[in-house]
Chains A and B, each alone.
Chain A
Amino acid sequence: MSTLDAKIPEGPIDKKWTNHKNKINLVNPANKRLIDVIVVGTGLAGGSAAATLAELGYNVKAFAYQDSPRRAHSIAAQGGINAAKNYQGDGDSTYRLFYDTVKGGDYRSREANVYRLAEVSANIIDQCVAQGVPFARDYGGLLDNRSFGGVLVSRTFYAKGQTGQQLLLGAYSAMNRQIARGKIKMYNRHEMLDVVVVDGKARGIIARNLVTGEIERHSAHAVVIASGGYGNVYFLSTNAMGSNASAAWKIHKKGAYFANPCYTQIHPTCIPRSGDYQSKLTLMSESLRNDGRIWVPKNMDDVLAIREGRKKPTDLSEEERDYYLERRYPAFGNLVPRDVASRAAKERCDAGYGVNETGEAVYLDFKSAIERYGKEQAQIHGISNPSKEQILEMGEKVVENKYGNLFQMYEKIVDENPYKTPMKIYPATHYTMGGIWVDYNLMTTIPGCYAIGEANFSDHGANRLGASALMQGLADGYFVLPYTIGDYLSHDIRTGAIPTNTPEFDEAEKAVKDRINFFINNNGTKTVDHFHKRLGKVMWDKVGMARNAQGLNEAMAEIKAIREEFWKDVKVPGKADELNPELEKAGRVADFLELGELFARDALQREESCGGHFREESVELDGEQKGEAKRNDTDFAFVAAWEYKGEPADAVLHKENLEFKDIELKQRSYK
């Protein structure tokens, strides 16, 4: 075990980034033309990085497995993006955003990175507005804000329920401008299958053209991984079907440490699963908790009556409802952070109060908000004695304006009208805070290989606050990486183009081809999805919202067994040199089967509860916080960064100790 150097600059926290930018090496514009950078992934982080690096003058090669960069899964982010603009005059500041993010992450993130994130957050909004991103505005023409969980201010900028879409299309438009200029060469329908390391430095990738099956060599002076998170290790998640961990896992196997894999966000408000055929889960934005109230019936009789269809939720009076978040957390109420809200839903459902057939659903109810808005509208329109129907009609209109597309999405999936009856929701895997370990410059432990956005680990600690993923992706891509990568590339101005006819490329390409041929020729009996579903079930049952030592040990053994069976018995139809979605999935699931075991191992090692990682053995036993997660700062205030050594069980743990100089470490309370 060794300690890791995060290369955090000296000086007071609010000066670190500025000082660092002033000191690092720059590459002059003429020399940038001599340097190539590969960016893998074109979501908010990868798209914004590719566009900005190209604007600066580097030659960028960008890779996406989708048919267009515009389709990366950042597009599905709904609710909003945080920024410390303090447009609402409600006491927001860079420090407060920094503080909320560190606290929300349960004191397991790196202070210096989080401060920098808060510092550049305001620039992101300015940049996006300048690009023509149509954020929501008020009647005065200025930008509007809403609130998200875990904070007491309104700092979230939004574009209805499609904020991620609008921000991604903004980054995509910036990319398009550079593609048109020839500064970005776009490789759509391509998947990175390995990184090539030459003399200890990342110098290229091996990619598969997903249409022709051709294996290609691409070289560059630096490689940026922006491939998102690994939530699909659970099979069911809110991620896209193609979202995968393979790019991140490949660099891990070539020397990049993987940090805190057990920090995974289970999002409280998703549409519950309806059957075994389910292929993915759909999120209902956290922004709905601004106006929605979460409850289950107080009495078991009502629970049973609802499940059997004898009663409807709207039949229950206020007294018969248990607004359990408001009851347990009066200060934050329905806007507690995601990990807290998810565990509270699980607690009620485990106690038997779940409201659907499977007992795994709670209500998210908009009735109070609709009435409140309706009365407000009546007042505005000077209607003195509004009827109940008028109030509901006007209130529903307001709610529709705010969340219309989400309500429509819910109705299409569930076939119930959420304006008239409360939504049913249940937690689902959504985001992974863990990821590739990076230093302050966002460089991994492979020199010249960077990880940005959800693919890295640094900013969200053990739990991410709502509307912070978009902020981090764009901060990394627009405002951080383009500076820090120059420091590294300044040593490469005389290197010249990196050749691809070298033994390192030969070897990497051969390994990729061997693996593909293995799958095609394996002739097993079970499909890729068969194994993926089994992995997902182990992950959800034993490495999900609540974990214990026995379950984690079992999970490690079971995942290993599934992995061994997978390699013996997986069946991949078709050929290597054609469009072959089953082959693509096989490669991704093979990597998930390794990552899953490391994930369980990390969770086993961390004998504390923090953020999204809840160990049943580590709970507050008495006092006001009884039953809440218990963190252990004495023994676990570190980042767990794992070094690959073959089998996941043999991975070596390296620690980066977390120091909190600007924020006092204390129990996270939302009471």
Chain B
Amino acid sequence: MNLTLQIWRQNGPNDAGRMVEYKVSDISEHMSFLEMMDVLNEELVAKGDDPVAFDHDCREGICGMCSMFINGEAHGPDRGVTTCQLHMRMFNDGDTIYIEPFRAKAFPVIKDLIVDRSSFDRIQHAGGYVSVNTSGNTQDANSLPVPKADADKAFDAATCIGCGACVATCKNSSAMLFVGAKVSQYALLPQGKVEAVERVKNMVHQMDLEGFGNCTNTGACEIECPKGISLSNIARMNREFFVSALAGE
């Protein structure tokens, strides 16, 4: 198929940026979206033009690196996939496709479609861990049974890939789905309970410092999340946060 691409080009954080039109032809429906972008970039390089910069790595939907806002949706029109797993069969011959970076105050553009998501890392530094050293003599893994339902829910929360689709989607640029998922994972497991009160306070505080907005329960993040992280994680984080406030001295 033949397509028209409208792509956000921005040379650096201080460049104003603009949409630029490109044409690609003979695109196979079996290609992934990023393979279509590879075709474009090979053509641009051959012509001596600057290829479109975009983040990508594993190309199997798990590293969380790819981050395109396609036709107004994070990771494009398909559900439950990242951009690298989006396939061209979702589009039709003659389509015009709009491709932009994940936009948020806390995700400044580095170049073209690449944004800086280090704010996510800093939220994790604030408490996304259990304080246990590598000693080689922690207690036996089976000495503390975990109800299967809790373990499964913790796992579901922990499958967040940290891509930032939730933030890009949210009209408030809220990171509460991301933070709620990490808080939930630990809150549901006995290993995480010891530090639960401090963790939620510190992570929420850092989230606010980074300039993410608040949650107004539209639920758009859950729909656009490539890993189906549930909105209930935000509710759990709010409960944990209230508990931590009550536990405060």
Residues of chain A having any CB pair with chain B under 8 Å: 48, 51-52, 55, 66-68, 70-73, 75-76, 85, 87, 120, 123, 125-132, 134-143, 159-160, 162, 164-166, 169, 172-174, 176-177, 179-180, 186, 188, 211, 238, 240-242, 274-275, 277-280, 282-283, 405, 408-409, 412-413, 415, 478-479, 482, 527, 529, 571, 573-574, 578-579, 581-582
Is B155 a contact of A409 with CB atoms below 8 Å? no
Chain A residues within 8 Å of B159, by CB: 162, 165, 405
Whether A412 and B148, one on each chain, are in contact in the complex, defined by CB atoms closer than 8 angstroms, is no
A535 to B19, CA, bound (A): 36
A240 touches B134 (CB 8 A): no
Q: What residues on B are CB-neighbors of A75 within 8 Å?
A: 58, 62-63
Which residues of chain B have C-beta atoms less than 8 A from A211's C-beta? Answer: 110
Can you name the residue of chain B whose Cβ is closest to the Cβ of A238? Answer: B60
Question: For chains A and B in complex, what number of residue pairs have CB atoms within 8 angstroms?
Answer: 214
Q: A67-B117, A126-B139, A408-B80 are in contact. Are A279 and B32 (CB under 8 A)?
A: yes
B110 pairs with A579, CB closer than 8 A: yes
| Nearest-neighbor residue (CB-CB) of A530 within chain B | B42
B141 x A85 contact (CB < 8 A):
yes
The CA-CA distance from A96 to B173 in the complex, in Å, is 53
Which one of A68, A125, A282 lies within 8 Å of B60 (CB-CB)? A282
Complex: chain A residue closest to B39, CB-CB: A277
Docked-complex contact B130 and A132, CB < 8 angstroms: yes
* Residues A479 and B134 in contact in the complex (CB < 8 Å), given A67-B117, A76-B60, A409-B60: yes
Contact A413 B85 (CB under 8 A): yes
> Is B45 within 8 A of A582, CB to CB?
yes
Contact A71 B110, CB 8 Å, known A130-B139, A174-B129, A279-B35: no
Bound together, the chains give a CA A72 to CA B63 distance in angstroms of 7
Q: List 25 A-B contacts (CB under 8 A).
A: A51-B134, A67-B118, A71-B65, A76-B60, A76-B62, A85-B142, A129-B191, A130-B138, A132-B186, A134-B151, A134-B185, A137-B145, A137-B151, A142-B145, A165-B159, A173-B124, A179-B125, A241-B57, A274-B30, A282-B59, A409-B61, A412-B87, A413-B87, A579-B111, A581-B53
B65 to chain A, nearest CB (A): 5
Closest 7 CB pairs of A and B: A141-B145, A173-B129, A134-B155, A129-B141, A134-B154, A130-B138, A180-B125
Q: How far is the CB of B129 from chain A (nearest CB, A)?
A: 4
Q: Could you tell me the distance in whole angstroms from the C-beta of B166 to the nearest C-beta in chain A?
A: 16
Q: How far is the CB of A407 from chain B (nearest CB, A)?
A: 12
Residues of chain B within 8 A (CB-CB) of A482 are 134
In whole Å, how far is A224's beta carbon from the nearest beta carbon of chain B?
Answer: 15
Which chain A residue shows the least CB distance to B153?
A: A134
Q: Which B residues form the contact surface with A (CB < 8 A)?
A: 12, 28, 30-32, 34-35, 38-39, 42, 44-46, 48-51, 53, 55-65, 78, 80-81, 85, 87, 89, 110-111, 114, 116-118, 120-121, 124-126, 128-134, 136-142, 144-148, 151-152, 154-155, 158-159, 161-162, 185-186, 189, 191-192
B27: nearest chain-A partner, CB-CB: A277
A260 to B235, CA, bound (A): 53
Compute how far the CA of A75 lies from the CA of B161 in the bound complex, rounded to whole angstroms: 9
Which chain A residue shows the least CB distance to B163? Answer: A71
Q: Which residues of B contact A240 (CB under 8 A)?
A: 57-59, 63
The interface residues of chain B lying within 8 Å CB-to-CB of A581 are 51, 53
Q: Tell me the minimal C-beta distance from A475 to chain B in angstroms.
A: 11
* A663 → chain B closest CB, angstroms: 26
B34 to chain A: closest CB distance in Å? 7
* Pair A277/B191 contact, Cβ less than 8 Å: no
Closest to B141 in A: A129
Within the assembled complex, what's the spacing in Å between the Cα atoms of A52 and B133?
7
In the bound complex, do residue B35 and residue A278 qualify as a contact, i.e. CB atoms below 8 Å apart? yes
Contact A409 B117 (CB under 8 A): no
Alpha-carbon separation in the docked complex, A571 to B45 (Å): 8
B125, A176: Cβ atoms under 8 Å?
A: yes
A165 B110 Cβ-Cβ under 8 A:
no
Given A76-B60, A529-B42, A143:B142 Cβ within 8 A: yes
Query: Which of A66, A136, A527 contacts B42, CB < 8 Å?
Result: A527
Which chain B residue has the least Cβ–Cβ distance from A77?
B62
Specify which of B30, B50, B80 is in contact with A573 (CB 8 Å cutoff).
B50
Bound Cα distance from A404 to B39, whole angstroms: 32
CA distance A279 to B41 in the complex (A): 13
Least Cβ–Cβ distance between B180 and chain A, in angstroms: 16
Cα distance A96–B111 when bound, in Å? 52
In the bound assembly, the distance between CA atoms of A165 and B60 in angstroms comes to: 12
Give complex CA distance A333, B85 in Å: 32
Quick one: given A141-B145, A582-B45, are A131 and B191 in contact (CB under 8 Å)? yes
Hey, which chain B residues are within 8 Å of A186, CB to CB? 121
Q: How many angstroms between the C-alpha atoms of A505 and B90 in the bound complex?
A: 52
Residue of A nearest to B89 (CB): A415
Known A67-B65, A68-B118; contact A132-B141, beta-carbon cutoff 8 A:
no
Q: Assuming A160-B155, A275-B30, A413-B85, is B189 touching A132 (CB within 8 A)? A: yes
